Amino acid sequence: MMNNYKDLEPTIYRQRLVIEGYPKNLITDKQIKDYLSELSNNTGMKQLIEPVTHKSDTYGWAGWIHWETSGAHFYAWDDPLFFSVDIYTCKKFDAKEAVVFTKNYFSTSQIEYKEF
């Protein structure tokens, strides 16, 4: 249970952000790769590899990018038309800028986010 969460290593900075929304159109493999690379620029993260994607016939697309300071995961469903982004870093970034970038990139009709 996280109610009495204790930071076991306060000397290591960690920031987490989950962004979810309803995109205007189906999300493609190419878009996921481009989005994750652009998200790297938007958050000031150094990319260590090109984004990787995979499609499950049951659940849809997933993507991941490895940054020097951690990384991000991306998940997209076709039905319902929905996406979820999970960002975890050991370097500060502007969460609101990442949300606005994501909203604009996917022309979302509705977007929600939670920072940890």
Architecture of domain 27-87+94-115: 4-Layer Sandwich (3.60)
* Average pLDDT rounded to a whole number, residues 85-109: 97
Residue 111 host element (H or E): strand 110-115
| pLDDT per residue as tens digits for the range 16-55 | 999 999 999 999 999 999 999 999 999 999 999 999 999 9
The span from the CA of 19 to the CA of 95, in Å, is 10
Query: What is the helix, strand, coil percentage profile of the chain, to 5?
Result: 20, 40, 40
Q: What is the pLDDT of residue 28?
A: 96
The pLDDT mean for the chain works out to 95
So where are the chain's domains? 27-87+94-115
How many CA atoms are closer than 13 Å to the CA of 62, on its beta-carbon side? 7
**Token pair 């090109």: residue:** 50
pLDDT band at 111 (very low <50, low <70, confident <90, very high): very high
Looking at 25-66, list the stretches that DSSP marks H as alpha helix, in order from N- to C-terminal side.
29-43
105 neighbors 83 (Cβ within 8 angstroms): no
Q: Residue 57: pLDDT above 70?
A: yes
pTM of the model: 0.93
